[in-house]
Chains A and B, each alone.
Chain A
Amino acid sequence: MTLLERPARRERTAPRTPAAAGRVTRPDGWWPWLFVAPLLAGVGVFYLWPILQTAYFSFTEFGVFGGVTWTGTENYERLVQDERFYRSIGNTLVYTAVVVIGVPISVFLASLINRPGLRFAGLYRTLFFLPYVAMPTAISLVWRVMYNGDYGIFNYLLSLVGIDGPYWTSTEGFAIVAVAIVGLWSSVGFSMIILSAGLKNIPPELYEASELDGATRWRQFVSVTVPLLSPSVFFVLVVTIISSFQLFDLLYAVLGPRNPIMPESASLVYYFYSTGFIDNQKGYAAAIALAILVIIGLVTLVQFRLQRRWVTYD
């Protein structure tokens, strides 16, 4: 209202219109700096500087009593022959492979939940989203009890069909799969929501037109839904894979930090953490961190390369 109720002022500025117009394209003086300075200071100190410092650390060794010694490429030479490093990559890949199964599952679920006139859609949405907002370390504890080899409910259910279930969280090989099932469970709802937003953007006329042409539901799914949804599927896939490669919380909480098979079941990020903060080899941990950066970068790059083959943009 104040903007409109002051003709006097506007008249005063009116003759200076050319100057005022000029001011629009002129820099805003020192004002912008006041606005961005607090954020830039923090980003500089806590993010940009640390990238450089970590890169430097990766060429050093930390002394037991402090102090940093330059060791050249020693950490990287050690890394390329480090069996535990490769094993942590392997575990991370197994975890990612299982969690990625959630992407086609959530395409299917999203297509169900978007059925026109479906009742309780809101309730289903809420239920599927619950695991995504639950604290991972808290909900992992119940999974750990359910996985228990002696009294866990999974082995009880398996025993009903005559299968003697393994000690899920303390047997090598089973452990990472057990963690991945929790990862799958907690990420499906999020993917489903993103995909169902993508489905809503598909114009209904396309379905009506194809229905008039006598297309079956399956035919509609293949020829209309899949191509038009592919950008959303691609987004979900990239996000799922990047976050799977950063597996830490669920592994730590489902298996437990004092689990004797933890070293064999480590993910990349857990191996980074245990090297840097349990074994206190921060220089070597810095090299692992940069390796994680490169690996995630490469995986994402490959996905962007491959998207041309299957993602349809209009």
Chain B
Amino acid sequence: MTSAAGPAVVRPARAATRRRRRQGSNALAHVVLSIGGLVMAFPFVWQILMSLSSNAELTGVPPTFFPAELRFDNYVAVFERLPFLSQLWVSVVITVIRAAGQIALCTLAGYAFARMRFRGKGLLLALVLSILMVPSQVYLLSQYQIVQGLGLLDTIAGIVAPGLFSAFGTFLMRQFFLSLPAELEEAARLDGANPWQTFWRVMLPLAGPSISALAITAVLFSWNELLWPLVVATYAQNAPLAVGLATIAGDVNINYPVLMAAATLAMAPILIAFLILQRRVIDGLAFSGLK
């Protein structure tokens, strides 16, 4: 009893000093992290402030931090002066199709590569994964020729097509399905379920977290991607927002507050989704290790 009580008395005291020591040094951590956090957040805040300013305020010296009057009409002008709505539509459609397509194709293929036996499986998997090591520029010219040949330039189908097939997503889903116990399948099989039923009713319902990681990656990449849609969509109204903003910004007579409003609106859906799902998004992306 006494021997148990001894450490119990000592420990709180030692823990307390340690905690005090830790807290003392945490002050410095807070200073560094909040300065860093400010640097991270500043461009976003600045962008919103400028989107509510007049052009004179934005280009004034010294800079105006808080506009004299909040000009929400800059946001109205986004819809009147820029092809914002049609580009928003393109962005939404390509993002939804790509995420849905990747989930369908990658879960199916990932499951087969993880749990089924067939000839040439190892070789096929190696071929699929080999494309992860090749930078996207190597595909781009030829993908462009193919999409052009199919008559899909300047269409949503053309922008979306290559991105439906994800080697990374297949790998992600394969790794997940590999981690499930074999008994699940055995039970389903003995129960008379065919492979499709086993996949659909038994295995897929367990894949929620991996599917959400895959969906987050697909949505983020599709929404933000520039190079491929820039090449495929030659007319402004057929391009997604990422392309629209980058190209319009090249114009000389640009009204910067309106452009800032457009940029804020273009980022908003992803940023809001991120703020709502932050933990899941951070874990999903850190887990996947790639954009």
By the criterion CB–CB under 8 Å, are B278 and A126 in contact? Answer: yes
Digitize B101-113: 1 where CB-to-A-CB distance is under 8 Å, 0 elsewhere: 0001110110111
Question: Which of A47, A239, A282 contacts B289 (CB under 8 A)?
Answer: A239
| Chain B CB within 8 A of A158 CB | no
Closest A residue to B60 by beta carbon equals: A151
The reply to whether B108 and A293 form a contact with Cβ atoms under 8 Å apart is no
A151 pairs with B226, CB closer than 8 A: no
Contact digits for B145-176, partner A, Cβ 8 Å, 1 yes 0 no: 11000000000000001101101001000000
Decide: A134 near B33, CB < 8 A? Known: A9-B190, A46-B162, A142-B46.
no
**How far, in angstroms, from A39 to B110 measured CA to CA in the complex?**
10
Q: B128 near A: Cβ within 8 Å?
A: yes
Instruction: Kindly identify, within residues 96 to 148 of chain A, every residue whose CB is under 8 Å from any CB belonging to chain B.
Output: 109, 112-113, 115-120, 122-146, 148
Count A interface residues, CB 8 Å. 111
Q: Is B227 an interface residue (CB 8 A)?
A: yes
A116 touches B22 (CB 8 A): yes
Q: Is the CB of A117 within 8 A of B141?
A: no
- List chain B residues, Cβ under 8 A from A113: 29, 33
- Range for the number of chain B residues in contact with chain A: 35 or more
Name A27's contact: one of B43, B118, B135 (CB within 8 Å): B118
B263 lies within 8 A of A290 (CB)? no
B108, B161, B279: the one contacting A39 at CB < 8 Å is B108
| Shortest 7 CB-CB contacts between residues of A and residues of B | A50-B142, A42-B165, A35-B112, A127-B37, A39-B109, A32-B118, A138-B263
B interface residue numbers (CB < 8 A to A): 19, 22-23, 25-26, 29-30, 32-34, 36-37, 39-41, 43-44, 46-47, 50, 58-63, 104-106, 108-109, 111-113, 116-119, 121, 124, 127-128, 131, 133-146, 161-162, 164-165, 167, 170, 186-192, 194-196, 199, 220, 223-224, 226-227, 230-231, 241-243, 245-247, 249-252, 256, 259-260, 263-264, 266-267, 270-271, 274-275, 278-279, 281-282, 285-286, 289-291
